[in-house]
Structure 1
Amino acid sequence: MMKPFVPTLCLAALTACTSGNAGSTTETPAQTRRAITQLLATQTAAWNRGDVAGFMQGYWRSDSLVFIGKSGLTYGWQPTLDNHRRSYPNPAAMGQLRFEGLRVTPDGPEAAHVVGRWHLTRPGLGDLQGHYLLVLRHLNGQWVIVADHSS
């Protein structure tokens, strides 16, 4: 049975993928995969040094960004940053992030999605882990996450 939030996620992702200022790209699928893998590596490095704002640089700076997590839907870059700061108030709470099993799939010259697993190693606080689906767009010359469903 389809859960009620799934159609909402699909609609939000499609809306995000069809709005905004698309930046034309002539990247090959392999180049797209490398660029997105590098974006995720940059995010991981920022997270692992306790830099939530640096981590958020990989996300679309827009009120249309959608983040879906255990607490529900969050719209907008700033509210998403604020939620991350509340949930992970210091480097110990943030732990060390690791992405695994990445499957980067170009969906055309200006869109892609990533499916994978995340793991936070947090000594003394307990590890956290889950799966995610990211929707990315090539906007203004760079790949950015426009929708993130992490569980």
Structure 2
Amino acid sequence: MSDSPTTLANEVRFRAKFLKVAFLVNIVLFVLLIGAGTALVTAVARATGASTPASDEKDIRAVLEAQAVAWNKGDLDGFMAGYWNDEKLTFISGGDITGGWKKTKERYEKRYQAEGKEMGKLTFSELHVEAFSPNAAMVRGKFELVFEKEKDEKKKTASGRFTVLLRKLPDGWKIVHDHTSADEKK
């Protein structure tokens, strides 16, 4: 065999074609691998019950909607169903910290269901949901309570802002921390 210029040129052309084909095959294999990996991750997430941010936001908003509906029916137990029934639940309002589900419920009973008190009509607005992970989220929003029986116009409504932290627990999304601030009366 001789190393003639023609033989070397043919070998260089062959190697160039081979490298182009190998490069294209590697790209195709890479794309297929990424696609298969994405499909696998999606399948595992669905099989393990992981949800999408859109469905999580819908479920989180449903917790708050159910609370407002229960409140407006005078159903404090239904309202409290949106909270984590645990002693580690925290509720902050008016400079006070209330710890635990039972004490939080007692606070609501004293403030809204005691003699001469009314629960009023509750609405939430300006809700902003932000998921931190598949199992943790925060909601910021505004609340308004309208007291139909109140004669004093200054006390007829109560409003303010709130921030709640939620965790996805086995029984669904629950509020684990609530920080509510009432608007100042002018």
Provide the TM-score with structure 2 as the length reference. 0.66
Is 1:100 aligned to residue 130 of structure 2? no
Taking CA–CA contacts closer than 8 Å with sequence separation of 6 or more, which of the two structures ends up with the larger relative contact order? 1
Q: Is the 8 A contact 2:90 2:100 kept in 1?
A: yes
Structure 1 residue 140, shift from structure 2 partner:
1.1
Q: Is the 8 A contact 1:69 1:149 kept in 2?
A: yes
Give the counterpart of 2:108 among 84, 90, 115.
84
Provide the secondary structure at the position in 1 that maps to 2:108.
Answer: helix
Report the counterpart of residue 73 of structure 1 in structure 2: 97
Report the counterpart of residue 46 of structure 1 in structure 2: 70
Structure 1 residue 25, shift from structure 2 partner:
4.6
Report the counterpart of residue 79 of structure 2 in structure 1: 55
Q: Is the 8 A contact 1:107 1:113 kept in 2?
A: yes
Q: Is the 8 A contact 2:91 2:104 kept in 1?
A: yes
Structure 1 residue 53, shift from structure 2 partner:
1.2
Q: Which has the higher helix share?
A: 2
Counting only pairs closer than 5 Å after superposition, residues 103-122 of structure 1 correspond to structure 2 as: 103-122=128-147
Q: Is the 8 A contact 2:111 2:117 kept in 1?
A: no
Q: Is the 8 A contact 1:100 1:117 kept in 2?
A: yes
Structure 1 residue 123, shift from structure 2 partner:
2.2
Report the counterpart of residue 144 of structure 1 in structure 2: 174
Q: Is the 8 A contact 1:67 1:148 kept in 2?
A: yes
Q: Summarize the Cα distance change of 1:111–1:132 in structure 2 as closer, same or farther, 3 Å threshold.
A: same
Counting only pairs closer than 5 Å after superposition, residues 130-141 of structure 1 correspond to structure 2 as: 130-141=160-171
CA distance in 2: counterparts of 1:25 and 1:72, whole angstroms? 37
The count of residues paired between Structure 1 and Structure 2 equals: 128
Q: Which amino acid aligns with 1:81?
A: K
Q: Which amino acid aligns with 2:123?
A: R
Provide the secondary structure at the position in 1 that maps to 2:107.
Answer: helix
Provide the secondary structure at the position in 1 that maps to 2:113.
Answer: coil
1:47-90 C-alpha deviation (Å, 9 max, x unpaired): 00001111000000000000001150000000000000000016
Structure 2 unaligned residues grouped into runs of 5+: 1-47, 151-155, 182-186
CA RMSD of aligned residues (A): 1.6
The runs of 4+ residues in structure 1 deviating greater than 4 Å are none
Greater C-alpha radius of gyration: 2
CA distance in 1: counterparts of 2:121 and 2:73, whole angstroms? 8
Q: Is the 8 A contact 2:145 2:159 kept in 1?
A: yes
